[in-house]
Amino acid sequence: MNSKRFPPASFKARVALAAMKEGEAVDAIASRFGISRKDVLDWRVQLKLRAHELFEVRERR
């Protein structure tokens, strides 16, 4: 069984927002949050691709 813990969505959001800001290198962000460079890049891409979902109107059932 894999004992790796998955970070909460709020943590991923903080990292992705930090990665979207200009001025700090991806490696520096990864080091600051104690995660891999790949995670920073992946979460930044996810934010770019899915940010619009926050503003979509949800249909009522």
59 domain-assigned:
no
CA distance 26 to 48: 15
Does any domain span residue 26? yes
pLDDT tens per residue across all 61 residues of the chain: 445 688 999 999 999 999 999 899 999 999 999 999 999 999 999 999 999 998 988 766 5
Instruction: Count the domains in the chain.
Output: 1
For residue 5, the model assigns a pLDDT of: 81
Q: What is the DSSP string of 4-21?
A: PPPPPHHHHHHHHHHHHS
pLDDT for residue 21? 94
Q: Considering the domain boundaries, does residue 22 fall inside one?
A: yes
- Domain span at residue 34 reads 9-53
> So what's the pLDDT on residue 32?
97
Asked, for residue 16, whether it belongs to a domain, the answer is yes
Is 23 a domain residue?
yes
